[in-house]
Amino acid sequence: MITLSVEAGLNFNGALQQAVLKSPQGVVRQEFARVLREIKAGKNRMDALREVAERVDEPSLKGLISSIVQAEKMGMSMANIRLQEGIPFPCTEQGIYIFADSAR
C-alpha cells in the first residue's frame, strides 16, 4: 500500500496515512497512526519512526524503518525501498506484509 501510494505521487506521510486508513487492525497500523500523530505534533519523522523500532519487537518492522531512515539520509525515493523488485517485506503479526503490493 505504501509503495503503491508513493509511486502514485503521494509523499511518504500521505502514503503512510493511506496505509493506516486501509490496513487491518493491528500493532503495525497502530504504530504508524502514532507516527502520523507525532509528526503532526511537530516531531521529526525519522525520530518518530526510530521510536517505533524501539517499542515494537518485530525484526522486519525494524528493518523496514532502518531502510526508510537510510533512504531519507541518502535522498532516495521512498518507492525504491526494499520492494524495488516487488519483494514483500514480511511481518509476522497476523501474517501481513508491510509494503506488500498485491498487484505486483
Query: Cα–Cα distance between 43 and 20 in angstroms, integer?
Result: 18
Domain ranges for the chain: 2-98
- Give the pLDDT confidence of 2-46 residue by residue, as tens digits: 666 666 777 888 888 888 888 888 888 898 899 999 999 999 999
Residues 61 and 38 sit within 8 Å (Cβ to Cβ): no
* pLDDT at residue 41 in the model: 96
> Angle at CA 96, nearest 5°, toward 11 and 81?
35
Query: Cα–Cα distance between 27 and 82 in angstroms, integer?
Result: 21
How many CB atoms sit inside 10 A of residue 100's CB? 19
- Give the pLDDT confidence of 40-93 residue by residue, as tens digits: 999 999 999 999 989 988 887 788 888 888 888 888 776 666 544 344 444 544
